[in-house]
Amino acid sequence: MKRDSDQRRQAGRLVRREKIIDEQGGIIELAIWQVPKSADYPEGIRYRCAYVPPEERRPSVLYDVHRRKAHHRHFEGTEYPYQFKSVDRLVSDFRADVERAKKARGI
């Protein structure tokens, strides 16, 4: 029973969810939750923002934070630390990286 309550607490309250299939067939998906502040989520935010280019299965851009791993972003297969400031800044930074990835691919 404790495990169920831990999973519910980790899931939190959905703050924002978007899934867009762009004109070229790429997938842009954001999921952001408000969760209780903890060592894993000091700001009380959990998220996963991903861009999967057309004809691919893996994200070329991924921003996420999860248990036992601080805020970070993946860009074209390389992981970088990410300095979380706010949800609005997260979305803005993510969208900028998506545009950068598209431009680099000629999309």
Q: What is the mean pLDDT of each run of 10 residues along the chain (107 residues)?
A: 45 92 96 93 95 95 91 95 96 97 92
pTM of the predicted model, to two decimals? 0.85
| Domain residue ranges in the chain | 2-105
Please tell me the distance from the alpha carbon of residue 73 to that of residue 49, in angstroms, as a whole number: 9
Give φ, ψ of 62 to 5 degrees.
-145, 125
Q: What local confidence, expressed as pLDDT, does residue 56 receive? A: 93
Q: What local confidence, expressed as pLDDT, does residue 67 receive? A: 83
Q: What local confidence, expressed as pLDDT, does residue 75 receive? A: 96
Q: What local confidence, expressed as pLDDT, does residue 23 receive? A: 92
- Compute the CA torsion angle 95, 97, 103, 104 (nearest 10 deg): -160
